[in-house]
Amino acid sequence: MLFDLDESQKMLKETVRELSERHIKPRASEIDEKEEYPEDIFQLLKEHELLGIFLPEEYHGAGMGFLGGCIVIEEIARFCSNSPLFIVLNMLSSRIIQLSGNQEQKDQYLKGLAKGELRGSYALTEPHAGSDAGNIRTRASLEGGEWVLNGTKCYCSGPDKADFITVAAKTDFNAGTKGITYFIVPTNTDGFSIGRHEKKMGMKGISTCILNFENVAIPKENQIGELNKGFKSAMIGFNQMRPAIGARAVGLAQGCFDYAKNYSKEREAFGTSISNFQAIQFMLADMFMQIEASRLLVHKAASLVDTGQIGKENARYFSTAKTFAADMAMKVAIDSIQILGGAGYMKDHPLERFMRDAKQIQIVEGTSQIQRLIIARNLLDS
């Protein structure tokens, strides 16, 4: 196993870091403060062909796999937590299609996402079904040559800007997880509407919304994969997504660490830089260890995805990468604020924003507690 990036990956990392520092860093605070959708950042990523960095070249992607995607996400997340969601949402909305879709669906939607001509979102969670996916109540019934969807989804990221949404619905209402099918729902379909925009602690640049489906009729060919087999594909898709969420956490933590380290060398107390105090040195050392460990876990998980090792037997590694990195990012954000003292609590510095954004990573794509259940059951079943 190699523990370093190859030359193309190193070049990608350096390019995205320079791009992020020049264009994304100056916008990060404003995006949060104004709760502003960063259209300019989307166009920046589109211009530099980064939106499909993880997709195969046959779909106009860069062919750099999920590890390449994680590299890009981490470098952007060092400065802004909202901006890497453009790549994360492309990953999330394309997973089921790439895993189970037909060739026509792949050609249309994967190419559209990679080229920046389409924007996607993903809808599984409902008011009464979060981690318990088998309890979703959104129904899809086949009427003639159309599927008709009825139900409500919540905590959906970026649907107000999306062209389509991959939606989980019950096609056998009494079968639990064995009765779920996924569908591609264009957002201009009659009966589809976006409800409340949630007021959030952080991650304010990309909307989180309620979705309403009232007799939403879509063509039969918008079904993704086999009937009632959606849950299995979704779980494999979540395995693939977890290193990407972990990469967000690593990038956020690295940004906090860099800022706190530099501040500690400039801030003086008792006639010397506070970086000379052992208490500060120990905090910085702990941060560095935790970030490095998290990055290796994320890279390992992403490498498993890229080599096709996405089965149930490796679920522990995907969940470990996401959970360890998410919990680490929250701790590093809090400790970075502590190093700055009173200044860290102020909006003059980015750390309070990073702390608010870090909390979301411990919840999204399966909470840290759910991930621990997955890890434990995976271990005990082996």
pLDDT tens-place string over residues 226-273: 999 999 988 899 899 999 999 999 999 999 999 999 999 999 999 999
For residue 318, give every residue at least 6 positions away whose Cβ sits within 8 Å of its Cβ, in sequence order, or none: 238, 239, 240, 242, 243, 301, 304
Mean pLDDT of 115-127: 97
The structure's pTM equals: 0.96
Task: Indicate which residues carry an active-site annotation.
Answer: 365
Cα(251)–Cα(257) distance, integer angstroms? 10
Instruction: Give the model confidence (pLDDT) of 78-94 as tens digits.
Output: 999 999 999 999 999 99
Q: What is the DSSP letter of 176?
A: G
3-class SS at 195? strand
The CATH 2.40.110.10 domain(s) of the chain lie at: 120-228
pLDDT tier at 130 (50, 70, 90 boundaries)?
Answer: confident
Nearest to 53 by CA among 96, 1, 16: 16
**pLDDT > 80? residue 1:** no
List the CATH code of the domain at 120-228: 2.40.110.10
Q: Where in the chain is the domain with CATH 1.10.540.10?
A: 7-114
Distance CA 228, CA 34 (A): 42
| Average pLDDT value over all residues in the chain | 96
241-273 burial, b at 16+ Cβ within 10 Å, e below that, comes to bbbbbbbbbbbbbbbbbebbbebbeeeeeeeee
Q: Work out the angle at residue 125's Cα, subtended by the Cα atoms of residues 320 and 222, and round it to the nearest 5 degrees.
A: 105
> For position 139, what pLDDT does the model report?
97
Contact 207, 39 (CB under 8 A): no
**How far, in Å, CA of 191 to CA of 213, rounded?**
6
Residue 157 half-sphere exposure, CB side, CA atoms within 13 Å?
A: 20
**Residue 193 three-state SS:** strand
pLDDT band of 311, cuts 50, 70, 90: confident
Is the CATH number of domain 231-381 1.20.140.10? Answer: yes
Per CATH, the homologous superfamily of domain 7-114 is: Acyl-CoA dehydrogenase/oxidase, N-terminal domain (1.10.540.10)
Using a 10 angstrom Cβ sphere, with 0-12 exposed, 13-18 middle and 19 or more buried, the burial of residue 15 is middle
By the 10 Å C-beta count (0-12 exposed, 13-18 middle, 19+ buried), 122 is classed as: buried
Phi and psi at residue 167, in whole multiples of 5°? -120, 130
pLDDT at 277: 98
Domain with CATH 1.20.140.10 in the chain: 231-381
